[in-house]
Chain A
């Protein structure tokens, strides 16, 4: 696999060996002694972080990334224990030390923590104590390691808050964490981690819990800070887009082991390990193609460390596995050019052949031609007219109304038969409420939900109740987000999947069993598992059950609310493929809700973008992503990390990450507080822009859509040719 270099970066141009190793982890083993046996969470990881460079550690959840990171600072809580291996820290004031040899919570390790190595965690809000102001927690960190007076510490603290981009730092200094947004809290955490000028910053999925726009700002911030103070970073993530955006070096982890090391270019252009290759293949990417490329899913899922296969940990899911070798011996590391290394028998074993055989071309026979997308024929299945849902927020012990939130505001939508309408927006913008109002899981405050019955008449679902409504519940179905809470743990698969049939008297007895079996087969679950309970299934399998339940009534419209957000990348690809297969097979119409633009782009024919309860842009996927007409859509597109290190974005003007208070939406265009194009001459802060037609089948709600030219996805990536 060759990749034409489309860009060069002066940092990555220098050979990696040039920088001195700062942190060297050598065959680290961290284990948990649990009641159910020993869990080998980290099982022989070796890796190196070099001074001034960013190492990304990537892998699906449960691969031991967090435990590895915590082991560095001896932060693993009992029953977890580092059992062997060494972690050399070469920056110690008193020369290199092995942090595993230090007394836990002793003087020495505490001098390293926070002072020489800073750490940032995944849950910013929960990582700050709610009982103290952020200023108190920040100064505390400063006073711990620096010899300054409390007054000086306060000044340093305020400077730090300014540095991490917190507006009005003096005022925020005395705020409590719960008064700030998640993004702001993460900035505070970064300020705390940076307070003593560490040589290394360990960031464990620091942006996973945040919205894309916020994520983009935090990534930019980290890159900026690094450029300023030259610290090294160990950045843990499961998102290859983020890796491509921020990494210099990459370590790929699988099941407690490091399976591949290389520079970011090496990993993305010539991935060696089958797991790395598969991860890259399973990514939906934002790209300007007219063909819906099926994702190359990895089969199965990451096994629990207690069921670690013998031999190569990946062999149970590997298509290149060599029988009798991979399932027996652990593969040694093979070196490639410039420090690129991978642990795979294909390169080291005599029978390996020195390369990984390529899978069959990953194009399905019926891959949809999307050149004509957005042109779905026929009368709309669903027409939503002026749908509004407001919630009264009451608070305090007196339950007085504190205000109203318009979760959905005057939304109108049309979905035509057989198409997929994608609905995107940041969290809290009202996507789920809209979906649930259509499915009548919440009652809309006003507006119509017109569903086209089989005889062509339109029925207003919003006005139905009781038995009349229940009849339509078999026609409009929902796939829920959370594969765990959406299946009743107290019912068997047969009862869960058969419930819609039973509740509506559509089948019973053996007919019902047969129908459930048939449906399970369709979603790729063996019908023999019918009498099992949900706890016997993995996340991906549960999502298949969820799909089976939704589709068993042969619905016309399916509302899929973030159906893959809770899943790992490899499993996500399986589910996305399944959904599009089923759509083709059963002629389904989808309303596909997601916060992930690349997923939406991958599945949708048309896309609607929501902001603060309103649809601000709607149009064919190509047009909307290629030539957006609303600054917010452009901001979202800018923020999406693209899994291509050669297409690192130069975000000159990112939107601020503070959302307005939904109880007091800004006057005029609700986006004007964050919009870089806001202009009072156009009435941005005074007049609400209406959703107007800007192009064929393309609407936008922006006063300036006619005089702005937005570039859409500017970063194009050429797919490596499968040769």
Chain B
């Protein structure tokens, strides 16, 4: 097991390096370099132009007069050794600070969504498999398909519209207006919880639907295996047996959810976050991309890729812990 973990960690290094290169390429993709964009930006805003000094400083900072590979090294070493992700010109602030502001909330939301997906899909998946072709199974299956077919942002839109139309309130944002700028307190926390469930449910739909489908299919396969009959033949109760044997095998997809839910929410559901007006990293990425604020965009991309890698690692380890076949193969 220890060897497995070490190896697993070692292979992270080249992967992460490759990811950083791709991110850097993405940063470099838009025509022109950071400076020209920045200058264009400033003149568009009518703020005049950069001082020669400032120009010099930025050229130095990003190594813009150097060859591309030096620029890459400047960029990545600043991140690695100084935690300096560069500056966002849209927000006019260091990228690091922007991320620090938004990451905690995003991660909180991700974890809540993960728990929501598990809590909902587990009982439904098991029920659907054990009562295959029952009315309940058909209903859940249909909703599963629906959950996969409706884009999250559309659900968000419809929900916003319905609440505005019929309840006169907006469900967007994470705080009611009176708490928005208030310091942290119990009521503010309660207000947060009251708002949180909406993005959690919306984000959870697709994941829940996918998980139910996979769990149901896996469990149906497992239920037909000879070891189930063998366990019945030694007098085990059906329910207990199902939970103890096949469900445990069929649980695997749950752990792979960790691999994608975390990073997914950092960036993938940017669109939904935008619609719901959430202070997460998603809208940050979106703004950055639309404005070609590439250091910011690149950083979000880098962090979400990092999270994919970490998420996959966690889910692989969880799987190895759960399944002796995986654990003992190495």
Give Cα A366 to B102, complex, Å: 91
Asked whether A105 is an interface residue with its Cβ less than 8 Å from the other chain, the reply is yes
B contact residues, total (Cβ < 8 Å)? 25
Pick the residue among B229, B234, B328 that contacts A192 (CB under 8 A): B234
Pair A119/B235 contact, Cβ less than 8 Å: no
Q: Taking the nearest CB of chain B, how far is it from the CB of A518, in angstroms?
A: 45
Within 8 A of B (CB), among A307-344: none
Pick the residue among B230, B248, B323 that contacts A121 (CB under 8 A): B230
Contact residues in B for A73 (Cβ distance below 8 Å): 232-233
Give Cα A494 to B230, complex, Å: 44
Q: Taking the nearest CB of chain A, how far is it from the CB of B6, in angstroms?
A: 11
Pick the residue among B233, B249, B323, B329 that contacts A113 (CB under 8 A): B233
Binds B, one of A125-133, A224-232, A535-543, A695-703: A125-133
Q: From A116, which residue of chain B is reached at the shortest CB distance? A: B235
Asked whether B143 is an interface residue with its Cβ less than 8 Å from the other chain, the reply is no
Pair B325/A126 contact, Cβ less than 8 Å: no
Within 8 A of B (CB), among A349-398: 395-398
Pair B237/A105 contact, Cβ less than 8 Å: yes
Give Cα A70 to B7, complex, Å: 47
Q: Taking the nearest CB of chain A, how far is it from the CB of B320, in angstroms?
A: 11
Pair A127/B234 contact, Cβ less than 8 Å: no
Give Cα A702 to B315, complex, Å: 53
Q: Taking the nearest CB of chain A, how far is it from the CB of B246, in angstroms?
A: 8
Which of B233, B238, B330 has the most C-beta atoms of chain A within 10 angstroms of its own C-beta? B233
Asked whether B231 is an interface residue with its Cβ less than 8 Å from the other chain, the reply is yes
Contact residues in A for B168 (Cβ distance below 8 Å): none
Q: From A113, which residue of chain B is reached at the shortest CB distance? A: B235
Give Cα A138 to B234, complex, Å: 10
Pick the residue among A110, A178, A189 that contacts B230 (CB under 8 A): A189
Known: A131-B248, A178-B325, A396-B329. A126 touches B226 (CB 8 A): yes
Contact residues in B for A398 (Cβ distance below 8 Å): 7, 11
Pair B237/A127 contact, Cβ less than 8 Å: no
Asked whether A285 is an interface residue with its Cβ less than 8 Å from the other chain, the reply is no
Pair A144/B234 contact, Cβ less than 8 Å: yes
Contact residues in B for A112 (Cβ distance below 8 Å): 235
Q: From B236, which residue of chain A is reached at the shortest CB distance? A: A144
Asked whether A612 is an interface residue with its Cβ less than 8 Å from the other chain, the reply is no
Contact residues in A for B57 (Cβ distance below 8 Å): none
Give Cα A140 to B226, complex, Å: 17
Contact residues in A for B11 (Cβ distance below 8 Å): 397-398
Contact residues in B for A105 (Cβ distance below 8 Å): 232, 237-238
Q: From A78, which residue of chain B is reached at the shortest CB distance? A: B132
Pair B225/A126 contact, Cβ less than 8 Å: yes
Q: Taking the nearest CB of chain A, how far is it from the CB of B200, in angstroms?
A: 31
Pair A75/B235 contact, Cβ less than 8 Å: no
Known: A75-B229, A126-B225. A193 touches B237 (CB 8 A): no
Contact residues in A for B323 (Cβ distance below 8 Å): 130-131
Asked whether B189 is an interface residue with its Cβ less than 8 Å from the other chain, the reply is no
Within 8 A of B (CB), among A86-114: 105, 110-114
Give Cα A490 to B232, complex, Å: 40
Pair A121/B238 contact, Cβ less than 8 Å: no
Pair A127/B226 contact, Cβ less than 8 Å: yes
Q: Taking the nearest CB of chain A, how far is it from the CB of B243, in angstroms?
A: 12
Q: From A395, which residue of chain B is reached at the shortest CB distance? A: B329
Asked whether A289 is an interface residue with its Cβ less than 8 Å from the other chain, the reply is no
Pair A396/B330 contact, Cβ less than 8 Å: yes
Pair B329/A129 contact, Cβ less than 8 Å: no
Asked whether B69 is an interface residue with its Cβ less than 8 Å from the other chain, the reply is no
- Main SS class of interface, B: helix
Give Cα A189 to B330, complex, Å: 27
Give Cα A8 to B231, complex, Å: 40
Q: From A176, which residue of chain B is reached at the shortest CB distance? A: B324
Contact residues in A for B234 (Cβ distance below 8 Å): 113-114, 118-119, 140-141, 144, 192-193, 195
Q: Taking the nearest CB of chain A, how far is it from the CB of B257, in angstroms?
A: 20
Pair A126/B227 contact, Cβ less than 8 Å: yes
Could you say which interface size class chain A belongs to? 35 or more
Q: From B245, which residue of chain A is reached at the shortest CB distance? A: A129
Q: Taking the nearest CB of chain B, how far is it from the CB of A350, in angstroms?
A: 46
Residue-wise, chain B 139-153 has the 8 Å CB interface mask toward A (1 for contact) of 000000000000000
Q: From B330, which residue of chain A is reached at the shortest CB distance? A: A396
Pair A114/B237 contact, Cβ less than 8 Å: no
Give Cα A349 to B251, complex, Å: 61
Which of B234, B236, B328, B330 has the most C-beta atoms of chain A within 10 angstroms of its own C-beta? B234
Pair B238/A129 contact, Cβ less than 8 Å: no
Q: Taking the nearest CB of chain A, how far is it from the CB of B136, in angstroms?
A: 17
Q: From A105, which residue of chain B is reached at the shortest CB distance? A: B238
Contact residues in B for A115 (Cβ distance below 8 Å): 235
Pair A123/B235 contact, Cβ less than 8 Å: no
Pair B232/A75 contact, Cβ less than 8 Å: yes
Pick the residue among A121, A145, A178, A179 that contacts B226 (CB under 8 A): A121
Asked whether A707 is an interface residue with its Cβ less than 8 Å from the other chain, the reply is no
Pair B235/A121 contact, Cβ less than 8 Å: no
Pair B329/A176 contact, Cβ less than 8 Å: no
Contact residues in A for B224 (Cβ distance below 8 Å): 77
Known: A75-B229, A126-B227. A110 touches B329 (CB 8 A): no
Q: Taking the nearest CB of chain B, how far is it from the CB of A400, in angstroms?
A: 9
Give Cα A548 to B93, complex, Å: 79
Give Cα A695 to B214, complex, Å: 64
Contact residues in A for B245 (Cβ distance below 8 Å): 129, 131-132
Q: From A189, which residue of chain B is reached at the shortest CB distance? A: B230
Q: Taking the nearest CB of chain B, how far is it from the CB of A236, in angstroms?
A: 14
Q: From B323, which residue of chain A is reached at the shortest CB distance? A: A131
Q: From B234, which residue of chain A is reached at the shortest CB distance? A: A114
Give Cα A178 to B324, complex, Å: 9
Give Cα A140 to B329, complex, Å: 25
Give Cα A114 to B328, complex, Å: 30
Q: Taking the nearest CB of chain B, how far is it from the CB of A111, in angstroms?
A: 7
Contact residues in B for A119 (Cβ distance below 8 Å): 230, 233-234
Pair B235/A131 contact, Cβ less than 8 Å: no
Q: Taking the nearest CB of chain B, how far is it from the CB of A577, in angstroms?
A: 35
Pair B232/A113 contact, Cβ less than 8 Å: yes
Contact residues in B for A189 (Cβ distance below 8 Å): 230
Contact residues in A for B330 (Cβ distance below 8 Å): 396
Q: Taking the nearest CB of chain B, how far is it from the CB of A93, in angstroms?
A: 13
Pair A110/B235 contact, Cβ less than 8 Å: yes
Give Cα A123 to B224, complex, Å: 13
Residue-wise, chain B 283-327 has the 8 Å CB interface mask toward A (1 for contact) of 000000000000000000000000000000000000000011100
Q: Taking the nearest CB of chain A, how far is it from the CB of B186, in angstroms?
A: 44
Residue-wise, chain B 2-18 has the 8 Å CB interface mask toward A (1 for contact) of 00000100010000000
Contact residues in B for A129 (Cβ distance below 8 Å): 227, 231, 245, 249
Pair A144/B226 contact, Cβ less than 8 Å: no
Pair B230/A131 contact, Cβ less than 8 Å: no
Q: From A400, which residue of chain B is reached at the shortest CB distance? A: B7
Q: From B225, which residue of chain A is reached at the shortest CB distance? A: A126
Residue-wise, chain A 58-97 has the 8 Å CB interface mask toward B (1 for contact) of 0000000000001001010100000000000000000000
Q: Taking the nearest CB of chain B, how far is it from the CB of A234, in angstroms?
A: 13
B residues in contact (CB < 8 Å) with A: 7, 11, 224-227, 229-238, 245, 248-249, 323-325, 328-330
What are 27 pairs between A and B in contact, CB < 8 Å? A70-B229, A73-B233, A77-B229, A105-B238, A110-B235, A114-B233, A118-B233, A118-B234, A121-B226, A121-B230, A126-B225, A126-B226, A127-B226, A129-B227, A129-B249, A130-B324, A131-B249, A131-B323, A133-B324, A140-B236, A141-B235, A144-B234, A144-B236, A178-B325, A192-B234, A195-B234, A397-B11
Other A-B contacts than A112-B235, A119-B234, A133-B324, 13 sampled, CB-CB below 8 A, are A70-B229, A77-B229, A105-B237, A118-B234, A126-B226, A129-B245, A140-B234, A145-B235, A176-B324, A178-B325, A179-B328, A395-B329, A396-B7
A residues in contact (CB < 8 Å) with B: 70, 73, 75, 77, 105, 110-115, 118-119, 121, 123, 126-133, 140-141, 144-145, 176, 178-179, 189, 192-193, 195, 395-398
Instruction: Identify the 10 closest CB pairs spanning chains A and B, nearest first.
Output: A114-B234, A114-B235, A113-B235, A127-B230, A119-B233, A126-B226, A110-B235, A129-B227, A141-B234, A129-B245
